[in-house]
C-alpha cells in the first residue's frame, strides 16, 4: 500500500471519513503524481477498512477545491505519445471508480472552484454540495483548451444528465457556472451558504443514504433522454454533427468533434468501456497541435500577460478611486459602466447634461437585463448606478485620480478637453486616451504632463470585450504605464502593452485581415466564398461584413493620412490591392458601408443585413487563375501573422504573449491557432515551413507576403517565437 501524501484521512467516532485534499507542497491541489498515488492509497485503505466506514466526505483545505490537470506535462506530449497519454489517466480513474463503488455514501463538499479535474472528482461522488463562495466556478472547460475531460467527465455527465444536456450545458461550451447556476443546471445537488452548513448537510446525506450508489450503478438504469439505441433518439442523431459543423463554421477545432463522438459512443456501452473510449479520444487531442496552441495561449500566455510581465517593476500600486470619463458616447458609456462595476466612482462628462445622462442610461439598460436574468441583485444594481455621476460641468471632475478620454476622434478636440480639465482633476491624475487611431505621442503634446499620458484602447462593446491595449507614447513614464496596467486589472480586464505606432498593434493587424478579404473580391472571387473562407479559417466575424461595420471611408482616411505622413518623412508606402477596391466602392458605386446605406452588403431600413451586393459579381469579374480555397484562408491568416512579426521587429510589440493574447481576445484571430505568433510556431514545419509557404504566397499574390527578416532568421536558426 502506498502512502497518501496529498489527501488527509480523518475518521470520526461515528465512522464518517473526511478526505481533505491538501497538497503540502503547493498552493493548489493538482493532478500530479503524488495526488495520483494518494487516490490509489485512499482506495486501498477504504476497501481494507470498509466495515468501519459509514460514509466519506471529500473536501479541500485549499481555496479552490481542486485545480485540475498538469498542463505543463500535457503540452510536452508529442503525436507518438498517444499510448502514454491513454495510460496516464487510467490508474486514477480506476482508483476513483473503486471509491465510487465501495457501497458507502460518498459526498463532495465543494468548498471552492471545481473546474476540469476538480469537477470530475466531484462527479465520482454520489452527492455534490457546493459552497456559495464568491468567485467559485464549477464546470468542465477542457474544450476551451482543445481537450476533453478524460477523468470520467464525459462518461459521467452523459449518465447524469443525458447526452443532449451533457453536450450542450457542460461539454461543448465548457461553461463555468457559479455555484447557484451549477445547481440550476443540475451539476450539483445542493448549495450551502457556509462551510459549516456544507459539512452538516454532507453528514445528513450520509445519515439518510447508508448504502448510496451512483444512479448509473443501479441495475436497469437508463440514460435520461435515451441513447442512439432508441429509435427516437437515433432519428435526431444526424442533427448533432450538422449543428456542430454549423456552430464551428468548418473551423478546425477537433475537440468538439471528439467530445461528441465520445459521448455518443460511450452512451451505448458499459461504464468501463465508455471510459476507455473517452481516454482514446483524449489521447488523440492531447498529442495534437491544436490543444498545444490553445494551452499555450489560454494558460501560459494569458497568465504571463495578467501577471504583469509588461508592468514596470518597483512602482507601488494604488487603486483608482475616482475616474473622469470624458465623452459619454458608445465607448465612454461602456467604459463608465466597466469602471463602476469594479467599484470605482465615475464622473461621466459630455457636452450637455442630456448627453451625459444618455451615457449613464447605457449602464441602466445593461443592469436591467442583468437583474431580469438573475445575474445581479437590485441592491447591487442601485449601488453600481449610484457610482456613476453624469455631468456637463468640468468642475464635477475635481478629485479624479484618473481620466479616460473618449470624445470624437479629432486631435484638436482631444487636446481641448484635456486642457479644460487639467487644472481640475488631481494634480497627478493618470491621463488616458481611448483613441483608436491617433498617435499617443502626438496627443501627449497637448497636455502639461506628457509623462502621465498614455493610450488605453478599449474594444467595443466594452462590457463584453476582455482586452485593453495599453499604448506607451514616446514620453510616457514608467509610473503611468504601471498605473494604467493596474487600472486595467482593477476593472478585471486583460492588458497588453505596446509601443506607439499607427494603428498600434490590434487595429493595424486586423486591417491586414480585412484588406485581404477585400483584395479577394477585387480578384473576382465569389464574395460568398470569401466570407466562407474566413469562417473556415476560424474567424468569428465575416470579413466583408466587418468592413461594412467599420465603414469603408474610415480605413481609407487612415490609409491616406498614413501614406501622406510616411511620404513626408521620405519613406514609401506600398499599394495594397484592397485600396483600389475600396476606392471604387466609395467613389464609383457610392457604397461606403452599413451606416452609409450599403457597402459590400445590402441592408434593410432598420440596418438588418440582407444579402451581398449583387454588383460585386458584375463589377469585379474574375480574370486569370482561380484562387484555391486553401490559399484564401491562408492569405488572411498569413497577412495577420506576418504583420505581427513586423510589429515585433519594429518594437511595437515587446512580447510574444501580448501578440497571442491580444490577437485572440481583441481582434478575433482564430483561437485554435493559439494566437498570431503561435500560429507560426504550430504551422506544419514550424517557422521554417511557414516561411517557405510565405515565399510561395509572395510569388503568387504579391510582395506583402514576403517574410520579414526576423522570421527568416528564426526559421534558419530553427527557433520558435516565445518570450
- Point out which residues bind ligand NAI (CB under 6 A): 326-332, 349-351, 355, 406-409, 413, 417, 434-436, 457-458, 460
Nine cell digits for residue 555: 480605413
Q: Which residue is nearest to ligand NAI (CB)?
A: 329
Contact 548, 600 (CB under 8 A): yes
Contact 403, 426 (CB under 8 A): no
State the minimum distance, in angstroms, from the CB of residue 535 to ligand NAI.
22
Nearer to ligand NAI, 88 or 438 (CB): 438
Catalytic residue among 120, 190, 278, 602: 120
Nearer to ligand NAI, 273 or 460 (CB): 460
State the minimum distance, in angstroms, from the CB of residue 301 to ligand NAI.
23
State the minimum distance, in angstroms, from the CB of residue 491 to ligand NAI.
15
CA angle 383, 389, 395 (to 5 degrees): 145
What's the CA gap between 59 and 128, in Å, rounded? Answer: 11
Report which of 681, 521, 702, 539 is spatially closest to residue 615, judged by C-alpha positions. Answer: 521
CA angle 273, 275, 280 (to 5 degrees): 95
What's the CA gap between 585 and 600, in Å, rounded? Answer: 8
State the minimum distance, in angstroms, from the CB of residue 381 to ligand NAI.
23
Is the C-alpha dihedral spanning 62, 68, 74, 80 positive or negative?
Answer: positive
Per-position DSSP letters for 304-352, written without gaps between them = HHHTTTTSPTTPPP----EEEEE--SHHHHHHHHHHHHTT-EEEEE-SS
State the minimum distance, in angstroms, from the CB of residue 499 to ligand NAI.
18
State the minimum distance, in angstroms, from the CB of residue 661 to ligand NAI.
18
Nearer to ligand NAI, 415 or 619 (CB): 415
Nearer to ligand NAI, 379 or 408 (CB): 408
Q: Order of strands, edge to edge, in the sheet holding 402-405?
A: 388-391, 345-349, 322-326, 402-405, 430-433, 453-458, 467-472, 494-499
Per-position DSSP letters for 350-386, written without gaps between them = -SSHHHHHHHHHHHHHHHHHHHHTTSS-HHHHHHHHH
Nearer to ligand NAI, 417 or 480 (CB): 417
Phi, psi (deg, nearest 5) at residue 30: -130, 170
Phi, psi (deg, nearest 5) at residue 398: -55, 140
State the minimum distance, in angstroms, from the CB of residue 554 to ligand NAI.
9
Give Cα 21 distance to the centre of its chain: 29
Nearer to ligand NAI, 168 or 330 (CB): 330
What's the CA gap between 677 and 663, in Å, rounded? Answer: 9
State the minimum distance, in angstroms, from the CB of residue 436 to ligand NAI.
4
Nearer to ligand NAI, 431 or 520 (CB): 431
Catalytic residue among 142, 345, 469, 531: 142
State the minimum distance, in angstroms, from the CB of residue 117 to ligand NAI.
39
Nearer to ligand NAI, 121 or 348 (CB): 348
Report which of 47, 21, 49, 46 is spatially closest to residue 36, judged by C-alpha positions. Answer: 21
Which is it for strands 190-192 and 127-131: parallel, antiparallel or unpaired?
Answer: parallel
State the minimum distance, in angstroms, from the CB of residue 405 to ligand NAI.
8
Contact 662, 469 (CB under 8 A): yes
List, in sequence order, the alpha helices (H) in 491-576. 506-522, 527-537, 543-550, 553-568
State the minimum distance, in angstroms, from the CB of residue 563 to ligand NAI.
20
Is 474 marked active-site? no
Nearer to ligand NAI, 242 or 351 (CB): 351
What's the CA gap between 633 and 491, in Å, rounded? Answer: 36
Nearer to ligand NAI, 3 or 408 (CB): 408
Residues 6+ apart with CB under 8 A from 59: 18, 19, 20, 21, 65, 108, 109, 110, 111, 198, 199
Per-position DSSP letters for 106-163, written without gaps between them = EEEEE-S-EETHHHHHHHTSSEEEEE--TT--EE-GGGGGT---TTTHHHHHHHHH-H
Report which of 21, 5, 9 is spatially closest to residue 56, judged by C-alpha positions. Answer: 9
Nearer to ligand NAI, 174 or 332 (CB): 332
Q: Residue 340 half-sphere exposure, CB side, CA atoms within 13 Å? A: 30
| 3-state SS, residue 402 | strand
Nearer to ligand NAI, 458 or 603 (CB): 458
Q: For 445, which DSSP code?
A: T
Is 196 marked active-site? no
State the minimum distance, in angstroms, from the CB of residue 471 to ligand NAI.
11
Nearer to ligand NAI, 146 or 359 (CB): 359
Quick one: residue 386, left, alpha or beta (phi over 0 = left, psi -120 to 50 = alpha)?
A: alpha
Residue with cell 498605473: 483
β-partners of residue 680 are none
State the minimum distance, in angstroms, from the CB of residue 438 to ligand NAI.
7
Nine cell digits for residue 686: 514550424
- The set of catalytic residues is 120, 142
Amino acid at each position: 500500500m502506498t502512502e497518501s501524501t496529498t489527501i488527509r484521512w480523518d475518521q470520526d467516532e461515528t465512522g464518517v471519513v473526511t478526505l481533505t485534499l491538501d497538497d503540502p507542497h503547493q498552493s493548489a491541489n493538482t493532478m500530479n503524481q503524488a495526488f495520483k498515488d494518494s487516490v490509489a492509497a485512499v482506495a486501498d485503505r477504504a476497501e481494507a477498512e470498509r466495515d468501519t466506514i459509514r460514509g466519506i466526505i471529500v473536501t479541500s483545505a485549499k481555496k479552490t477545491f481542486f485545480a485540475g490537470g498538469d498542463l505543463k506535462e500535457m503540452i510536452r506530449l508529442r503525436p507518438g505519445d498517444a499510448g502514454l497519454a491513454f495510460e496516464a489517466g487510467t490508474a486514477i480513474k480506476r482508483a476513483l471508480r473503486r471509491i465510487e463503488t465501495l457501497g458507502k455514501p460518498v459526498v463532495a463538499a465543494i468548498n471552492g472552484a471545481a473546474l476540469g479535474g476538480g469537477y470530475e472528482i466531484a462527479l465520482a461522488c454520489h452527492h455534490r454540495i457546493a459552497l456559495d463562495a464568491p468567485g467559485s466556478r464549477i464546470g468542465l472547460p477542457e474544450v476551451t483548451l482543445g481537450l476533453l475531460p478524460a477523468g470520467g467527465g464525459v462518461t459521467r455527465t452523459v449518465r447524469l444528465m443525458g447526452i443532449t444536456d451533457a453536450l450542450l450545458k457542460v461539454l461543448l461550451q465548457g461553461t463555468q457556472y457559479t455555484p447557484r447556476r451549477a445547481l440550476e443546471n443540475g451539476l450539483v445537488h445542493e448549495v450551502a451558504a457556509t462551510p459549516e452548513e456544507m459539512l452538516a448537510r454532507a453528514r445528513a446525506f450520509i445519515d439518510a443514504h447508508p448504502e448510496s450508489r451512483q444512479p448509473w450503478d443501479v441495475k436497469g438504469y437508463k440514460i435520461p433522454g435515451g441513447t442512439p439505441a432508441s429509435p427516437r433518439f437515433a432519428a435526431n442523431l444526424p442533427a448533432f454533427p450538422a449543428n456542430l459543423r454549423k456552430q464551428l463554421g468548418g473551423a478546425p477545432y477537433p475537440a468538439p468533434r471528439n467530445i461528441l463522438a465520445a459521448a455518443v459512443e460511450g452512451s451505448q456501452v458499459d461504464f468501463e468501456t465508455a471510459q476507455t473510449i473517452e481516454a482514446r479520444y483524449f489521447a488523440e487531442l492531447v498529442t495534437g497541435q491544436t490543444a498545444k496552441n490553445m494551452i499555450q495561449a489560454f494558460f501560459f500566455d494569458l497568465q504571463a500577460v495578467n501577471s504583469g510581465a509588461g508592468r514596470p517593476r518597483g512602482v507601488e500600486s494604488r487603486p483608482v478611486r475616482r475616474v473622469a470619463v470624458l465623452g459619454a458616447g458608445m465607448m465612454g458609456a461602456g467604459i463608465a459602466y466597466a469602471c463602476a462595476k469594479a467599484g470605482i466612482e465615475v464622473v461621466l462628462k459630455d457636452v450637455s447634461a442630456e448627453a451625459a445622462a444618455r451615457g449613464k442610461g447605457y449602464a441602466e439598460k445593461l443592469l436591467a437585463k442583468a437583474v431580469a436574468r438573475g445575474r445581479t441583485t437590485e441592491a447591487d444594481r442601485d449601488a453600481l448606478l449610484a457610482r456613476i455621476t453624469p455631468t456637463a460641468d468640468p468642475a464635477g471632475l475635481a478629485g479624479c485620480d484618473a481620466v479616460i478620454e473618449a470624445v470624437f476622434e479629432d486631435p484638436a478636440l482631444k487636446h481641448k478637453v484635456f486642457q479644460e480639465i487639467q487644472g481640475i482633476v488631481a494634480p497627478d491624475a493618470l491621463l488616458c486616451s481611448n483613441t483608436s487611431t491617433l498617435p499617443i505621442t502626438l496627443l501627449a503634446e497637448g497636455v502639461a504632463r506628457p509623462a502621465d499620458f498614455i493610450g488605453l484602447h478599449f474594444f467595443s462593446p466594452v462590457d463584453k470585450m476582455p482586452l485593453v491595449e495599453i499604448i506607451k507614447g514616446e514620453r510616457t513614464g514608467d509610473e503611468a504605464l504601471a498605473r494604467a496596467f493596474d487600472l486595467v486589472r482593477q476593472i478585471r480586464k486583460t492588458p497588453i502593452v505596446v509601443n506607439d505606432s499607427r494603428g498600434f498593434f490590434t487595429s493595424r493587424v486586423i486591417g491586414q485581415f480585412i484588406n485581404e478579404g477585400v483584395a479577394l473580391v477585387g480578384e473576382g472571387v465569389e464574395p460568398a466564398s470569401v466570407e466562407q473562407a474566413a469562417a473556415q479559417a476560424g474567424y468569428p466575424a465575416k470579413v466583408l461584413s466587418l468592413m461594412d461595420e467599420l465603414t469603408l471611408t474610415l480605413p481609407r482616411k487612415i490609409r491616406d493620412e498614413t501614406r501622406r505622413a510616411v511620404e513626408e518623412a521620405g519613406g514609401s508606402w506600398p499599394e495594397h490591392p484592397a485600396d483600389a477596391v475600396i476606392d471604387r466602392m466609395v467613389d464609383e458605386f457610392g457604397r461606403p458601408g452599413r451606416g452609409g446605406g450599403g457597402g459590400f452588403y445590402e441592408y434593410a431600413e432598420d440596418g438588418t443585413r440582407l444579402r451581398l451586393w449583387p454588383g460585386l459579381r458584375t463589377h469585379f469579374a474574375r480574370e486569370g487563375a482561380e484562387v484555391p480555397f486553401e490559399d484564401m484562408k491562408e492569405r488572411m491568416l498569413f497577412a495577420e501573422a506576418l504583420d505581427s512579426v513586423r510589429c515585433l521587429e519594429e518594437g511595437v510589440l515587446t512580447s510574444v504573449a501580448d501578440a497571442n493574447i491580444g490577437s485572440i481576445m481583441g481582434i478575433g484571430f482564430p483561437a485554435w491557432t493559439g494566437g498570431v505568433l503561435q500560429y507560426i510556431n504550430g504551422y506544419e514545419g514550424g517557422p521554417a515551413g511557414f516561411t517557405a509557404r510565405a515565399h510561395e504566397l509572395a510569388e503568387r499574390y504579391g510582395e506583402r507576403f514576403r517574410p520579414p527578416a526576423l522570421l527568416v532568421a528564426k526559421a534558419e536558426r530553427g527557433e520558435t517565437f516565445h518570450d
